[in-house]
Structure 1
Amino acid sequence: MSDELVLYTNPMSRGRIARWMLEEVGAPYRAEILGFGPPMKGAYKAVNPMGKVPALKHGDMVVTECAAICAYLADAFPQAGLAPEPGSKLRGPYYRWLFFGAGPTEAAVSNKALGFEVPADRARMIGYGSFTDVMDTLEQAVTAGEYLLGDRFSAADVYLGSQILWGLQFGSIEKRPAFDAYGKRISGRPAALRADEIDDALIAEQQKQA
């Protein structure tokens, strides 16, 4: 596709995940930086009715939700090699970890950060079971190989890996040696470093203007 890529984001948001994915893809894109509050709740809601970032516009197509953006870009730019071929043996695990990040990990970490503990006798009512279940599953995932798909880096590492990195930084994910080692493996990628440099510079500029 030759249509313009536009990322709607804020450097202090989950938009950092989408920017990292765009840097991995390597396709040219333009970023629209939105402030929190009114800027996201006004005309921008025509792009994303939720009034949240990130959102990705590719020509006339709009994609929201970080996992969906990562999956979309991986399929739209297959030359980047960030998704296994449909029908391959790695396609199932690829989907598994993308959705594990968007479902159990997101919910468990958010609830933990808000101080909500699932009562033991109600754990079966919650999709993720317990916070410990999620942490143990994540630990198994990042120790089975160099990346979530073994020796192959994918969009699943961008998405779920970002959640692990943020969780370690802000204390919402347990500090386990396996998470630290995995985080170091993925955060040193050239695309991740470029994305961080861009967003960190935007944060510094915003702070100057405040």
Structure 2
Amino acid sequence: MVMKNKLGITNSAELARVEEKITKKAAKQLYDQGDISKVEVGTFTGLAAIHKYLFKDIYEFAGEIRQVNLAKDNFAFAPVMYLRPALAYIDKLPQTTFDEIIEKYVEMNVAHPFREGNGRSMRIWLDLILRQTLSKVVDWSKIEKEDYLLAMARSPIKDIELKYIIKHALTDKVDEREVFLKGIDQSYYYEGYVTYKVDDLV
């Protein structure tokens, strides 16, 4: 079943290609136009702003809390009826240390507030928290896809593995455009989108 979209696309492969192109261009614009500096750091409001920025031209629900229950690989994300209280709880979680930041990231992943595009939005959101608190960002190109996906799948039970791989990929190159753009490409690679390089899109 193809996600209902503003473009009227009914083929899932075509939608994936078009979505990748549009949202990567939006991510590039988010950085290049300085709009990323306007995002509220560490809150659901900030995450929703990122999601809307990336997906507003594709989905009506961009930036909006999902209205359906979601599950992936036999793991059920937060039920819709508990989602708003869960997001309010996450907003109040501390983010003063590396461990606290990753724990907050894990909680937001369990909440999975959007119908689509959670991971791509959340990785930008995580980098903004790390940048503000620790003057670090993740060099996502240093993290292997399978390592990351397995660590994320296990993180609701035990987050040590996730903390380890992210900590060893941190960089202090917080203002380098190349690091951000490489991170966007890697983020989409995690999701199976590999058609376009973000820096080639204009």
TM-score range, shorter chain: 0.3 to 0.5
TM-score between both structures, scaled by the size of structure 1: 0.33
Say which structure is richer in strand: 1
TM-score between both structures, scaled by the size of structure 2: 0.34
